[in-house]
Structures are given as structure tokens and as C-alpha cells.
């Protein structure tokens, strides 16, 4: 590869110049050296071009500025000016639809960002925003190029500014395929989805060496910011996979469920799953006894097309499920309490997870279906001191602010403020349904009876018998399945086996829904 500042002497005729062009292009395609490629492979990683080939439809990639080289001097940079400057940018298609992409090439400057490198990314981001098409970043870089100083840092600023401008306008997906440290971690954090690969990708603001120097704590790179940490503990990563091939295939699947931009609807497909298919299995999946657990995943599988869905944040805040799926070929977002984890209560992490998902669905015109079986907010000193009030308010704000079609379905318990927050009719759900097993109340019957009938229970000769009697009375009076329906708080009580058809028919009616928000620059959501 040409590494000096000298431009090769031009050939004397057109054929010679075209041959020279093809030689340079081949040089660009091969990359810096076989040694650098071997080092990349030795780490179990693909090259940037191999990754792009896996992401995009075959032979659809159009590269932008492949001949770009930096103009920096000092620290030996003037003698090392490789083509692409360590980042490959361009566009192609995924399932036939345009997608823009940039991929760090770790073989060149360790994928570090310099001025020319950043300018290429800025350009492709601007093109994605202008064209109204998704942007996927394949991240494998060592952060800012130290030799270029503040110019490199300013390059990150330009990326962050464009991430923010594109937010809610085009889907932005960050795929972490190597280390991502310092300020570089903030661009993925600003995007809609973050994918990581176990063992090879890490994200952290300060690395293990700095952590040890400052705090004395010893920890590995993966222990500090690996895929499992960010997909189970911090919630930074939405998805984690064992290898790059599976990871990129799942990125393609996610793109098939998203619109090109906020002015379009998600792509629909022909469904081979009958819209009127009954779900008799639901009668056995969900116990009528509110104290018995079950797996909400099985309920979702029974309702959606062919049982297929993509769960977001599958391993973080597992007491709530957020998933993208289809009903009769139309994309929907599903938010569901998970009784198999913490009894399905709402806590700080579950509220944050669901709030961000609701906002994403609303930004990209994806109808939201909420499946309720929630006993309330998680009590405790840690939750209160951790700010459950403001974190829970994030979910409330997200639902209240959403203008896409919203349907809620109450399967069993729906108690207290958690019931209101989970897209109840009172905060704007377009349609609210319930199964005959629903229990909508301020709190559970036992707790309510202890409060309301405290004196009678205390004065009774047999307090346990009196408590049982009062619980039964409270249930009969205020918690029977039709109490909310009689007061118009539930639009209908439905046969669980007919859930799929009811949801599909309701979504068809709501497809032309239009809602206007107040004129304002933007809201001030709780943080």
C-alpha cells in the first residue's frame, strides 16, 4: 500500500489510468497487509469488509470515499497514509431496502478515529438522514487517534451531534465487534439498539488499568464492560451473541421489522398464520389463581404470527418483556409483565427498559400492545432511594406521549399505580380488553381487607376467619371480572382463545389513527 504523501505518476493514456485505478482499488480492498489481517483473525474477528458482506445483501455495497487519506503530520503520521483512513463507509440493501453503514477497520491505526476518519463518518450519517434510511455502525476501534489530538475529539463531537439529530428520524443500530472505550462509547449509547459479541467486544468509559490506578479494583476487560455485563447488569446492550455471523444475521432480522424512517410504516408481509386462529392453549397457560406463576413468553408465542418474535433486552430487567413481532403480517411492539420473574412487578430497571421501548415504537410508527399481569411496584428502601418515583414516571410519560395505536389487555392482576402506568384506558390506551381472570383493584384483596376491615378483624373472636370472610367480601364487591367493564374502564371482556383475532381486528381499525400533540419544542420527560 502507498504510505507516503507522493501521488503515483499518472499513466500516459486512458487505458493505463484505468488499469492504475483498478490496481489502487484492489489495494484498498485487500487492506493494509496480510500480517494485519492475520492478527485480526487471530483474535477471532472478521475484517471490516467481511462484516459488511454479512450485513448487506450480496453485491449491493457502494463504497463512499475509499481513497480518502489523512493529512496529519507529526509522530510519523506523514509516512503512514493508508487509504480509507481506517473506516469503510457506504450504502447497500438489507432485504432489498437501502441501509447506510460504516465499519471501523481495526487493521489500520487500530480503527482509531482521526480527522479524515471522522469526516467520512459525518458524511455517511448526513447521507442516511437525507435519504431517510437506517444507519448501522460496525464498531471496532481504539477510540480517538492520540497523534491528532483535539481534532480527533472534535470528530466525535460531530458524530454525537448527528446521532442526536437522527434520533427518532431514522433507525440507528450500533454493532460492537471490538473494544470501544472513552468518549467513543457515547455514540452507541445515543443510538436505538446496541448489539455485542461475547469475548471480543467491550464498552467502558475508563479501562481496567485506569480503574485499578484510581480505585484499586482489579478487573478484566470483559468483566468491566463485556457483552454479558452490558446485556444483564448495566442494560447498555440490547443483544449479545456468541459470534459475529449470528450477531449480524440478527441485525438483518431487526431491520426487517423497522421502517426506513419516521415518515413510513414498518414493512408488512403476507402472513401464513390465520388471523382467526383460536388460542385455546391460553386457557391452560395462565392460571386463574393470581398467586401462581407462568411464563409470559408462551402467551406471546400463542398470540403472534407463527410464534415468532424478537425480544429486546432479553436478559436485563427480566420482570418485563419488550418484543417486536407481527400480527397478521403487521409489525407490533409488545410490552408484557413477566410473572415468572419477580412476580412481574415494576421496578426501576423494568420501568426504564419499557419506557425506552415505548418511545422507540412511537417514534417509528409501531403499534403497541400491552399485556398486563402486574401486582404493583416493587417495594423497598433501595427502590425508593434509587428513585423509583422518577423512573416509574418515565414509563408513564412514554405511554402518555405515544400517539401510535395502543391496545392493552389485562390477563390477571392489575393493581394500584402499576395498573395505571401500564397503558390503562385513563392514560390514553385506544382500546382496553380483559380476560375473565382479570383482577383490577387498588391492591390485592388480602391487603385491602387488612386496611378496610382492620377494626372488625382485630375485635373478632376468630380473627383469621373474619379476615377470610372480609377478603371474600371485598373480592365479590370490587374485584370481580366485570367490575371495570361495568364502569367503562375496560372496553370488553373477551374469551382468551379469541385474543389473536380481537387484537388483529382492533389494529386494522386503528391503522388510520391520527393524533395531534400540543405545539411545543419538546417535552421535559422525567430523568
List the catalytic residues: 182-183, 417-418
Q: What's the N-to-C CA distance of the chain in angstroms?
A: 50
**CA-CA distance, 225 to 515, in Å (whole number)?**
41
**H helix or E strand, kind and range, residue 507:** helix 499-510
Using the Cα atoms of residue 36, residue 38, residue 40 and residue 42 in order, give the sign of their dihedral: negative
Give the span between the Cα atoms of 504 and 266, in whole angstroms: 16
**H/E run at residue 50:** helix 48-55
HSE, side-chain direction, 13 A CA sphere, residue 255: 30
Q: Residues, the chain, total?
A: 527
**Mutual angle of helices 463-478 and 445-452, in 10-degree steps:** 110
Which value, to the nearest 10 degrees, does the dihedral of the CA atoms of residues 30, 34, 35, 40 take?
Answer: 60
The whole-angstrom distance between residue 130's C-alpha and the CA centroid of its chain comes to 23
Q: Which of 171-210 are b and which e, b meaning 16 or more Cβ less than 10 Å from the residue's Cβ?
A: bbbbbbbbbbbbbbbebbebbbbbbbbebbbbbbeebbee
d(CA 422, CA 427): 9
CA dihedral 442, 448, 452, 454 (to 10 degrees): -150
Amino acid at each position: 500500500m502507498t504510505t507516503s504523501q507522493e501521488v503515483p505518476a499518472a499513466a500516459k493514456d486512458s487505458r493505463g489510468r484505468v488499469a492504475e485505478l483498478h490496481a489502487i482499488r484492489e489495494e484498498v480492498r485487500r487492506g493494509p497487509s496480510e500480517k494485519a489481517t492475520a492478527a485480526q483473525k487471530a483474535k477471532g474477528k472478521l475484517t471490516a469488509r467481511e462484516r459488511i458482506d454479512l450485513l448487506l445483501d450480496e453485491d449491493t455495497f457502494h463504497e463512499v470515499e475509499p481513497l480518502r487519506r489523512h493529512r496529519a503530520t507529526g509522530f510519523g503520521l506523514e509516512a503512514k497514509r493508508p487509504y480509507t483512513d481506517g473506516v469503510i463507509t457506504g450504502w447497500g440493501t438489507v432485504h432489498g431496502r437501502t441501509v447506510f453503514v460504516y465499519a471501523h477497520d481495526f487493521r489500520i491505526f487500530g480503527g482509531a478515529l482521526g480527522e479524515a476518519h471522522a469526516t467520512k463518518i459525518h458524511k455517511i450519517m448526513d447521507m442516511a438522514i437525507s435519504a431517510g434510511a437506517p444507519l448501522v455502525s460496525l464498531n471496532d476501534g481504539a477510540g480517538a487517534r492520540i497523534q491528532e489530538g483535539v481534532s480527533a475529539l472534535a470528530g466525535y463531537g460531530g458524530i454525537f451531534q448527528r446521532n442526536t439529530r437522527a434520533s427518532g428520524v431514522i433507525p440507528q443500530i450500533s454493532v460492537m465487534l471490538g473494544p470501544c472505550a472513552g468518549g467513543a462509547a457515547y455514540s452507541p449509547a445515543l443510538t436505538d439498539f446496541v448489539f455485542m459479541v461475547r469475548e471480543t467486544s467491550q464498552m467502558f468509559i475508563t479501562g481496567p488499568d485506569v480503574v485499578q490506578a484510581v480505585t484499586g479494583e482489579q478487573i478484566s476487560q470483559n468483566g468491566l464492560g463485556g457483552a454479558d455485563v452490558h446485556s444483564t447488569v448495566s442494560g447498555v446492550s440490547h443483544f449479545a451473541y456468541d459470534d459475529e455471523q449470528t450477531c449480524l444475521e440478527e441485525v438483518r432480522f431487526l431491520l426487517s421489522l423497522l421502517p426506513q424512517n419516521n415518515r413510513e410504516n414498518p414493512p408488512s408481509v403476507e402472513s401464513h398464520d390465520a388471523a382467526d386462529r383460536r388460542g385455546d392453549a391460553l386457557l391452560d397457560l395462565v392460571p386463574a389463581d393470581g398467586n401462581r406463576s407462568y411464563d409470559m413468553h408462551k402467551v406471546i408465542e400463542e398470540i403472534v404470527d407463527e410464534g415468532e418474535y424478537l425480544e429486546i433486552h432479553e436478559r436485563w430487567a427480566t420482570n418485563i418483556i419488550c418484543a417486536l413481532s407481527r400480527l397478521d403480517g403487521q409489525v407490533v411492539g409488545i410490552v408484557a409483565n413477566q410473572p415468572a420473574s419477580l412476580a412481574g412487578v415494576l421496578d426501576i430497571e423494568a420501568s426504564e427498559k419499557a419506557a425506552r421501548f415505548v418511545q422507540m415504537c412511537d417514534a417509528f410508527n409501531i403499534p403497541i400492545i400491552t399485556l398486563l399481569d402486574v401486582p404493583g411496584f416493587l417495594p423497598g428502601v433501595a427502590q425508593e432511594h434509587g428513585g423509583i418515583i422518577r423512573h416509574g414516571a418515565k414509563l408513564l410519560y412514554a405511554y402518555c406521549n405515544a400517539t401510535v395505536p395502543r391496545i392493552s389487555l389485562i390477563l390477571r392482576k392489575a393493581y394500584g399505580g402499576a395498573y395505571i402506568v401500564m397503558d390503562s384506558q385513563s392514560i390514553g390506551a385506544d382500546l382496553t380488553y380483559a380476560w375473565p381472570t382479570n383482577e383490577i383493584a387498588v391492591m390485592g384483596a388480602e391487603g385491602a381487607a387488612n386496611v378496610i376491615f382492620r377494626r372488625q378483624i382485630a375485635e373478632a373472636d376468630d380473627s383469621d376467619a373474619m379476615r377470610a370472610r372480609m377478603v371474600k367480601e371485598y373480592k365479590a364487591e370490587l374485584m370481580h371480572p366485570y367490575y371495570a367493564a361495568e364502569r367503562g374502564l375496560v372496553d370488553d371482556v373477551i374469551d382468551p382463545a379469541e385474543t389473536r383475532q380481537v387484537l388483529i381486528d382492533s389494529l386494522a381499525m386503528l391503522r388510520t389513527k391520527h393524533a395531534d400533540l400540543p405545539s411545543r419544542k419538546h417535552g421535559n420527560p422525567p430523568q
